[in-house]
Amino acid sequence: MTDTSTGQVGAPTPGLRRVVGPMPLMFISLGSIIGSGWLLGALTAASAAGGASVLSWLLAGVVMVLLALVHAELAAAYPFAGGTARYPRLAFGALAGFAAGWVGWLQAVTLAPIEVEAALSYLNHAWPGLVNADGALTGRGLWIAVALIALFTVVNIMGVRWLAESNRITVLWKTAVPVLTIIVLMVVSFHASNFTAGGGFAPFGAHGVFAALPLGVVFALQGFEQAVQLGGESRNPQRDLPRAVIGAVLIGTVIYIGLEFAFIGALDPANLLHGWSAPVGKGDFGPYATLATTLGLGWLAVILYIDAVISPAGTGLVYLGTTARLSYALGHAGHVPRATAKLNRAGVPWVSLLLAFVVGIICFLPFPSWQSFVGLVTSATVMMYGFAPVTLIALRRSDPDRHRPYRLKGASVIAPLAFIAASEIIYWTSWPTVEKLLILIAVGLVVFAISHLLGKKSKDEPLDARALLWLLPWFVGLGLISYLGQYDGIGVIPPWVDLGVVAVFALAIFYLGVRLSLPASRVAEALVIEEAEAATEPASL
């Protein structure tokens, strides 16, 4: 074998390895979608929107399908590892690539710890002492959480094949248990009147439907991009990536809507006489297990407690791996210290994995509970997704001759709608959460500036700072509208008018971003560099 980077015969081939087939790719995305969100999402959604929470899931499903369609074309045309960071870099240059990668990394690095927190919150019913009355980890819970993050790290370091195969096993279980729960609850106990109890079908109006989205609904359905992040390790990315992301979103949406129906229908009507603040009991963080126990379904409760470990653990396992691949892409580009791009003999970015392990543990300190975490993760997720629609149209203009095995029909309409939807969800997340996200983005820009000044490769690459002309207005504008709006803001912008303001603002930013994309010649140069770098990554079996 020839080392593609040195030309030495017999040297081990460095780089990421194309060993992941089509079904493991879809399982990786579906395994990320079916995590702690199914265990806790129905409860938080129902508390925020009542019976109308089923509309929240439907709306979130539509938004995620739109975003998945956009990602599918990008993933098939540009199958690079850590794609969410690399696509904007192609279209807008180094600064935009870093911004997208940084937001994506913030989202991904927090997923493993939040999944661990969800598992321990659920298991606290069977083994009290893991979390306190507010859902925050106790000392014992924290030690167990650290041990689980360490286990995820070890599995990922062993290689992507271990990641894909271990995930295949857990996804089969993770999909079967929610489906079983839906069927059993709807057969054993289903009160149709619950959907109009506690103040009617929509006791909190449209505000409640929208407010439920960042309280666990969008969080539950996010994750389809995990197959995209492993694009550099897919055997046939052009064919398999679109099928993986779209299939995973559709399956996940159907399952989650079914779970919300089953959850609301199985509730004791007496618990809803005074509203939706505690439909299964105050301080209860294991809603399905509680329902199963109340209905005399002890066997189902046991299965749910087992799943409370397997579902979040499987998602956390995947996200720790994809977090490392995002920081690998940023390090490979020279946007953060190059050490993050170091690979071991299994072709795994081990330094990035260790970084994800350390940051994941640190995240337990300011965010000790699932509830305190979910809003920030949601806002970072949809902001990461929001880069893709602008990038898609920009690359269609700047790289029109690129072979696109999957070409999204109606992209000129779907892409701006997807960008508007992402911006609306960020707004619904609430001002305090948006404020935290903007602070973290500012920290990232400082990291980029330092890396650019000190890194040799970064100095040789054009900065393309004109991307700031649409990125900064997007970040700051969303923050301002959020501060002035109806979701924990000061309420200056009236209801419904606020949604229109966000939509018009997002549309303006979308077309501004497309206009500020790099010219075709620069995109061609960037593609040559990306593909040359990617050529050192994959290795055949």
**pLDDT, tens digit (0-9, with 9 covering 90-100), for 229-272:** 665 666 777 677 777 888 888 899 999 999 999 999 999 898 88
212 is a domain residue: yes
Q: What is the CATH number of the domain that holds 460?
A: 1.20.1740
Paired with 234 in beta bridges are 20
- Kindly give, in sequence order, each residue whose CB lies less than 8 Å from that of residue 502, ignoring residues fewer than 6 positions away: 420, 423, 424, 427, 478, 481
What b/e string do you get for 365-376 counting C-beta neighbours within 10 Å, with b at 16 or more? eebbbbbebbbb
pLDDT at residue 540, rounded to an integer: 29
pLDDT at residue 412, rounded to an integer: 94
Higher pLDDT, 478 or 25: 478
210 is a domain residue: yes
Task: Please say if the pLDDT value at position 458 is more than 80.
Answer: no
Which residue type is seen at 162? W
pLDDT class for 13, splitting at 50, 70, 90? very low
> What pTM does this model have?
0.82
pLDDT digits (tens, 9 = 90+) for 476-523: 999 999 999 999 999 999 999 999 999 999 999 999 999 999 999 988
| Centroid of chain to Cα 211 | 18
Task: Please say if the pLDDT value at position 396 is more than 90.
Answer: yes
Write out the two tokens for 394. Answer: 């920009």
pLDDT class for 58, splitting at 50, 70, 90? very high
225 is a domain residue: yes
- Phi first, then psi, for residue 443 (nearest 5°) are -60, -40
pLDDT class for 1, splitting at 50, 70, 90? very low
pLDDT at residue 166, rounded to an integer: 55
Task: Please say if the pLDDT value at position 19 is more than 80.
Answer: no
pLDDT digits (tens, 9 = 90+) for 288-308: 888 898 899 999 989 988 888
Task: Please say if the pLDDT value at position 539 is more than 50.
Answer: no
Task: Please say if the pLDDT value at position 381 is more than 80.
Answer: yes
Domain housing 237: 22-109+155-284+374-533
127 is a domain residue: no
Q: How many domains, the chain?
A: 1
Write out the two tokens for 117. Answer: 């927190």
359 is a domain residue: no
Higher pLDDT, 409 or 318: 409
16 is a domain residue: no
pLDDT at residue 498, rounded to an integer: 95
Q: What percent of the chain has pLDDT over 90?
A: 32
The rounded distance, in Å, linking the Cα atoms of 81 and 88 is: 13
pLDDT at residue 193, rounded to an integer: 93
pLDDT at residue 283, rounded to an integer: 54
pLDDT at residue 2, rounded to an integer: 34
Write out the two tokens for 169. Answer: 């096993």
- Mean pLDDT for 362-381 is 77
The secondary structure of 475-509 as a DSSP string is: HHHHHHHHHHSSSSS---SPTTHHHHHHHHHHHHH
User: Within 10 Å of residue 505's Cβ, how many Cβ atoms?
Assistant: 19
Task: Please say if the pLDDT value at position 4 is more than 80.
Answer: no
289 is a domain residue: no
The rounded distance, in Å, linking the Cα atoms of 340 and 81 is: 14
Task: Please say if the pLDDT value at position 316 is more than 50.
Answer: yes
Length of the chain: 541
pLDDT at residue 12, rounded to an integer: 34
444 is a domain residue: yes
